[in-house]
């Protein structure tokens, strides 16, 4: 698997997200990233959902740890990628959301919308998402990582039939108590 810590990422876009993807890709390459682009040509860019499936497959098949996805709103490509097993996708329109997606929610795909996100912000969001990991910045919050690990694990292993058969309750839920929020924690 190609890891973010080793500066590997896969990217892709539909026609609407293509220009933003190109700006972020150029920026990452200039910063030493190995960028695999599954949609290198705008005329050949697939529909948003197909680009999402392709990116998701790169994660599901263990080729890449993290992906960046681009479409008009970020929503459609995110929904499609989320249909692929083992993809934990987020849509971000702020730097804080991109950072939180990886540090708190352990997301492995970040979607951005070219209609709403300018290149400079997209570059900052990509950097925050790719250069941080699950739990970063929350080391002083007792139980934080364990709390979010439960959420990640329950999403990763979610079985709808078992959930439905259990009265729409999680089967064998785990829990952890969060300690007090550290003073000065902004997000």
The catalytic residue positions are 71
Residue with tokens 């959420």: 151
Distance CA 176, CA 5 (A): 29
Q: What are phi and psi of 40, to 5 degrees?
A: -75, -15
Distance CA 4, CA 8 (A): 5
Distance CA 91, CA 48 (A): 14
Distance CA 162, CA 141 (A): 33
Distance CA 82, CA 89 (A): 6
Q: What are phi and psi of 46, to 5 degrees?
A: -75, 170
Distance CA 12, CA 36 (A): 9
Are the C-beta atoms of residues 36 and 1 closer than 8 Å to each other? no
Report the relative pairing of strands 89-91 and 109-113 from DSSP bridges: parallel
């Amino acid at each position: 698997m190609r890891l973010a810590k080793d500066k590997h990422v896969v990217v892709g876009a539909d026609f609407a997200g293509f220009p933003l993807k190109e700006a972020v890709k150029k920026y990452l390459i200039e910063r030493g990233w190995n960028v695999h682009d599954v949609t290198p040509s705008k005329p050949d860019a697939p529909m948003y959902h197909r680009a999402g499936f392709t990116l998701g497959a790169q994660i599901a098949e263990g080729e890449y740890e993290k992906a960046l996805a681009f479409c008009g709103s970020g929503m459609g490509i995110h929904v499609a990628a989320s249909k692929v097993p083992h993809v934990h996708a987020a849509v971000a329109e702020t730097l804080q959301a991109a950072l939180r997606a990886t540090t708190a929610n352990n997301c492995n795909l970040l979607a951005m919308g070219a209609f709403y996100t300018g290149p400079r912000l997209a570059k900052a969001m990509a950097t925050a998402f790719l250069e941080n990991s699950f739990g970063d910045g929350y080391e002083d919050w007792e139980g934080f990582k364990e709390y979010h690990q439960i959420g990640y694990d329950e999403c990763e292993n979610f079985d709808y039939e078992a959930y439905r058969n259990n009265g729409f309750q999680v089967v064998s839920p785990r829990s952890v108590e969060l300690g007090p929020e550290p003073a000065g924690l902004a997000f």
